[in-house]
Structure 1
Amino acid sequence: MLVRVSFRDGHAVGAHQQIESEAYKAACEHGKLCYREFSEVPKPDSFMSFFGQLVSLLSGSSLTDNSNTGVLRLGDGRVLCLTESVKGSIVVDPDTLDTVSKFEYQDKLGGLIHSAHPIVTDTDFWTLIPDLIRPGYVVARMDVGSNERQFVGKVDCRGGPAPGWVHSFPVTENYVVVPEMPLRYCMANLLRAEPTPLYKFQWYPDSGSYMHAMCKASGNIVSCFFFHFCEVLVD
């Protein structure tokens, strides 16, 4: 659900509109959940339907496209709604809140999931694409006005059997910081018919936590040195 608030002549004016995702339209048509959401999965009607769900999961066709995580304005003015599935990138009209179209990535980087909160500037767009087959993270950038992500580099996981969840990540002027944390994707949990306490993840405390710094220009992983520390907080 999109909500817009504007101010006119001292009054607040609100509007709301449902994003017309395929998952939303299918749920309205069939009266039930039809796509795999973050914390819910469709209930299989039979063993064969469960088997079919597994096949569609591996292809990504059963993943939700509900863009319920973030709204951002690209450098060229397009407004994009996102979730953690790549297919859930949807362009909307910021004035009417109408769904315009799917945002189709015109490249061969692939990937079924990406960071829900990419970094957007006036000139480019940065994102992380977890690699579940060869555990690691692809760092990609996209020029303003383009739909083509460009490969910058890849960070291989240092610990654990799978990449950790990367809901968001920080960047500096010259570096991308790729967090690798013990809350990692778990194929067994992805394949379950019922949600688990940690959804599609598993906690691997012995796998370690790492912060990888990648040079934006070269794509190389760089060694880090820290001198002074400040503003250390506990949330």
Structure 2
Amino acid sequence: MSEQFFKLGFSNLDKELSAVPLKTKGQIPTWLNGTLFRNGPAKFTANDNSSWHTHWFDGLAMLHKFSFYEGNVLYSNRYLRSNAYYSTLENGQFNIGFGSKGGTKIKNANNTNINVTILDDRFVALAESPAIIEFNPVNLETVEVFNFDDSLGGQLTTAHPHYDLQTKRYINFTTEFGQAHQYHLYSVAAHRRKRELIASVPTDRPAYMHSFANTENYAIITEFPLVIDPRDMGNEHKALIENFTWKPDQGTLFRVVRKSDGVILKSFEAEAFFSFHHVNAFEINGGLILDICALEDDRTVNHLQVSNLKGETGEPIFVQLRRYTVKFNSQNVSYEVLSPESIDLPTIHYSRYSGRSYRYMYGISTNRHHYENYPNQLVKADVQKGTTTIWRQDGCYPGEALFVQRPNATNEDDGVILSVIMDGHNSHSFLLVLDAQTFEELGRADVVNHIPFGFHGMFTGEQYM
């Protein structure tokens, strides 16, 4: 087995930089003006000598910013100043968080290290706890906890709200545990912070769900059989995910809600599977299509312990790009596999095709012939033709691939792909710019340091220098 150069991606980044010009190679398109924001963990040990290990999802949140102007790129990064951050730096205590095997339960940890979005015209960092942290898009400084102007309950949420292209509203849901467990599906209008309830979906098997699906008329909560007994959550020494149990005999339920009036359609059933990420969903005559990055079971949750990821390669875990078909006149849901490649952290041309029939998706992937514990290639899947295009460079490990449309483009894939790449051979990261149509490199911008592996981000056409 070759040396696994990706291990640097799970090591601490202590430097914080502000508007550093990056050396570029190739050609960064001059039309690419705006800002790429990225979020993810960047500290996994309290200090260099610590033997404390964490789950990848529990590293301290760091924001990264790439500012584009006339073919140039500036880079900035900064830790979120959360309760979890201060506890780690001042007391050497990590939050037990999502899946860590040690650590301390920190009250209101607010380690929002998964995603970023805009709510009520504020830039915010998100995780799966209801807390949301506002940050300044110019200097990345932490502002304050972002509070909604309502009393909607819930102990969990998703870090993947949808922006509904029809209503111009954000949609998400919370999971509330009680005598009657419920998923509260809600929407938020632009320039507002009051959540308006669409529907409360009762459940007797509250599940761990990282994302959900949204079409023009429906929201779909995919309830996997990774379920919880809420009475277990009182244990101060257990991480969040340790409260969930895999019960494959229960199968997977697709809970469909009509957004216009909150009517809950019947639950549609499929065999047991697990997923972190929905790709896209859209409506067909008499039903729905849901494209999902699917796993056979929940093994990947524990696989993502940093100690496992940095260890020797174990049993390969591949993620299937599946298309599930829901027929309203049938109880059962079927699926087909759309690509032979393992694909996760999926993205699409969201601003035009979210919730609508589409053709292309992009993701990170693990090469089947050169398996490593972290994905080592980027893929573009044509979900209509069933073909897949790959970008791969030995010793390089990609982050989420975000699509940015070329001005006045008419074709779905006319634009570029942006991905933060870990260059394991040279011990630093670079921002890769691919032509989205050909999937060939246009240019790259070298960062002087490594950027630990992160999760999600967003591109805005506004320039925050």
Q: What residue is the counterpart of 2:74 in the other structure? A: 13
Which of these residues, 157, 176, 180, is aligned with residue 219 of structure 2? 176
- What residue number does 1:139 align with? 185
Aligned to 1:31: 92
| More helix as a share of residues | 1
State the distance in 2 between where 1:65 and 1:41 align: 19
1:74-223 paired onto structure 2 within 5 Å: 74=119, 76-87=120-131, 89-121=132-164, 123-133=168-178, 134-157=180-203, 161-187=204-230, 190-195=233-238, 198-223=241-266
TM-score (norm 1): 0.79
Question: 5+ residue gaps in structure 2?
Answer: 1-61, 269-285, 290-324, 326-333, 343-465
Shift in CA distance, 201/63, structure 1 to aligned 2, threshold 3 Å: farther
Equivalent position amino acid for 1:70 in 2: N
Question: 2:161 is aligned with what amino acid?
Answer: P
Partners of 1:171 and 1:227 in 2: CA distance: 10
Bigger RCO of structures 1 and 2 (CA < 8 A, at least 6 apart):
2
1:66-92: CA deviations, max 9, x gaps? 010111123x532111011112x0111
Counterpart CA distance in 2 for 1:42 and 1:8 is: 44
Quote how far apart the aligned CAs of 1:37 are.
Answer: 0.9
When residues 26 and 41 of structure 1 are mapped into structure 2, their CA distance, relative to the original with a 3 A threshold, is farther
User: CA offset at residue 107 of structure 1?
Assistant: 0.7
Which residue does 1:47 correspond to in 2?
Answer: none
Distance 1:125 1:208, change over 3 A: same
The answer to whether the 8 Å contact 2:188/2:195 transfers is yes
- What's the offset of the Cα at 1:124? 1.3
Where in structure 1 are there 5+ consecutive unaligned residues? 45-52, 54-60
Root mean square deviation of aligned Cα = 2.9
1:233 lines up with 2:343 in the alignment: no
Structure showing the higher strand proportion among its residues: 2
Structure 1's 144 and 197: CA in aligned 2 closer, same or farther, altered over 3 A? closer
Q: Which amino acid aligns with 2:196?
A: Q
The structural deviation recorded for 1:171 is: 0.6
Q: Contact conserved, 1:5 with 1:15, CA < 8 A, in 2?
A: yes
Tell me: CA distance 1:95–1:22, structure 2 relative to 1, closer, same or farther (3 Å). same
**TM-score between both structures, scaled by the size of structure 2:** 0.42
Q: Contact (CA 8 Å) 1:84, 1:114: kept in 2 or not?
A: yes
Q: Is the 8 A contact 2:153 2:176 kept in 1?
A: no
Q: Distance in 2 between matches of 1:197 and 1:126?
A: 24
Structure 2 Cα separation of the partners of residues 71 and 227 of structure 1: 28
Query: Larger radius of gyration, structure 1 or 2?
Result: 2
C-alpha distance in 2 between matches for 1:31 and 1:23: 10
Write out per-residue CA displacement over residues 182-235 of structure 1, whole angstroms, 9 at most, x where no aligned residue: 011343653445447953321111222111111111101125844995983265
User: How far did 1:36 drift?
Assistant: 3.9
- Match of 2:214, SS state, is coil
Change (3 A) 1:150 1:28: same
Assess, with a 3 A threshold, how the Cα gap between structure 1 residues 185 and 207 changes in structure 2: closer, same or farther: same
CA change 1:198–1:147 in 2 (3 A) is closer
Alignment correspondent of 1:65 = 110
- Deviation of the 1:94 alpha carbon: 1.4
Percent identity reads 26
Q: How far apart, CA to CA, are the structure 2 residues paired with 1:144 and 1:106? A: 14
Alignment-mate amino acid for residue 152 of structure 1: I
- Aligned partners of 1:24 and 1:66 also within 8 Å: yes
Check 1:188–1:108 CA distance in 2 against 1; reply closer, same or farther (3 A cut).
closer
Aligned length: 214
